[in-house]
A = this chain, B = another copy of it.
């Protein structure tokens, strides 16, 4: 074998895996947005077949021999190729540690789980979901042990989403947040609440909300020729290549804010995928490097930009144009206060910036317990409700608004949740750094967000998977990660809003 031969084989096989991934991605997207309900069974079989093909390529002799050969000759490769091989081998080592039949069975389980979860949530019936969630967590524990037999399985899982992350680091991170957020929330709750009544109890027609989505995507600079928007139960973003990204939202007639912040949040994910450097396209390095960095981008757009005063001032005229009767007599300032109303609530995706991390903390502690066996799946509703009482001080009326609310576990995204809180904190540190050179508020006020997106592209987006996530963050901000930027930001913002 020569370097050229090995690279050729490697690239051909990566292309094949990406083609299969593309097909599976479109099947998932279609299933979550427009497919008829009885399509799930057929889709499951097809996904099982395709994932088996992908497994065979990823763990097959041709690709692994080529990749190993290249790794042994890495001093002869350029920096990008070297990094590609390193990242590929790391991923494929995980896959290869799982027997093929178990791998395919897990893909099929997840396809089934999605339908079971949807129905369980609809009926608020945890019992029907319990055996599935049990099987999903058991499978993840087993897979983690196959891969790293000597490591705590949840550490393995955390590090798969965010390389280098451990329970120890995550505990420390959440402790730093709790220390500042819990007393801050307490002070907020002692103050008079802001008025957001105009956002509720009226009909905000879906047709007008669809137009609002188009407008918001334009404002945050999304190229619609490369990014479509679909409608689904639980909003998500997916991408097949950098010219084909999809965001989704869910419209609720009773308020425009759910969809509004879904669109901006998912739009932040989309921007990251759309702006990987061209030279990474088609390689394992294209697209977002980790879920925490991804969430840092989505929550940057959603909160640091989307819930800022200049942004609300910018978009409020459009809101009044689309919803003239619903917003009659309302001012931009009232809207700014309303979208920043902070209070303990039941639903994570609807939570305000201040309480959001506490919702994530509940999930993190539960996942930890499910992984080490200190929590059993059958007890999840009780444990969930107790933690909501403890951290947020509220009673959960039913499992639909409790333990069944998120799609992550049924989707196999076990170990994902901490990414949301980490991402929020990463984003705040990026914003502080960005403000050293960019007039962020001025850009938003002008309606031209390109100085902001330009900074993100230059410091985060274009790098794709070239650096591990924490290294990427630290290169962008020129300093070690520090959650205090996030807690400082929260304290400043909510002190002003609630006149603490």
Residues of chain A having any CB pair with chain B under 8 Å: 15-16, 19-20, 22-24, 26-27, 29-30, 33-39, 41-43, 45-46, 49-50, 53, 207, 224-228, 230, 240-241, 243-246
Contacts and interface: CB of A to CB of B under 8 A. Distances in A.
Interface centre among A37, A39, A224 (most CB of B within 10 A): A39
Contacts of A246: 36
B38 A243 contact: yes
B27 A23 contact: yes
A241 B44 CA distance: 12
A46 B21 CA distance: 9
Contacts of A207: 207
A241 B42 contact: yes
Contacts of A35: 228, 244
Contact of A39 (B33, B38, B53, B240): B240
A36 B230 contact: no
B42 A244 contact: yes
Nearest to A38: B243
A41 to B, nearest CB: 7
A279 B291 CA distance: 45
A23 B36 contact: no
Nearest to A245: B36
Contact of A50 (B19, B38, B225, B230): B19
A36 B240 contact: no
A36 B224 contact: yes
9 contacts: A16-B49, A20-B49, A26-B30, A29-B30, A36-B244, A37-B225, A42-B244, A53-B53, A207-B207
A230 B26 CA distance: 15
Contacts of A37: 225
Given A23-B50, A39-B240, A42-B243, 6 more contacts: A15-B45, A23-B24, A29-B30, A36-B243, A41-B243, A42-B244
Contacts of A23: 23-24, 26-27, 46, 50
A35 B34 CA distance: 12
Q: Is the interface of A mostly helix, strand, loop or mixed?
A: helix
Q: Which 6 A-B pairs have the closest CB atoms?
A: A39-B244, A19-B49, A23-B23, A38-B243, A42-B241, A19-B46
Nearest to A42: B241
Nearest to A243: B38
A26 B35 CA distance: 10
Contacts of A241: 39, 42
Given A22-B42, A46-B22, A34 B243 contact: no
A45 B241 CA distance: 11
Contacts of A240: 39, 42-43, 46
A22 to B, nearest CB: 4
A38 B49 CA distance: 28
A286 to B, nearest CB: 11
Contacts of A245: 36
Nearest to A229: B34
A314 B38 CA distance: 29
A474 B246 CA distance: 48
A19 B27 CA distance: 11
B29 A45 contact: no
B49 A243 contact: no
Contact of A33 (B34, B226, B243): B34
Given A23-B23, A26-B27, A27-B26, A244 B45 contact: no
A237 to B, nearest CB: 13
Contacts of A22: 27, 42-43, 46
A244 B244 CA distance: 24
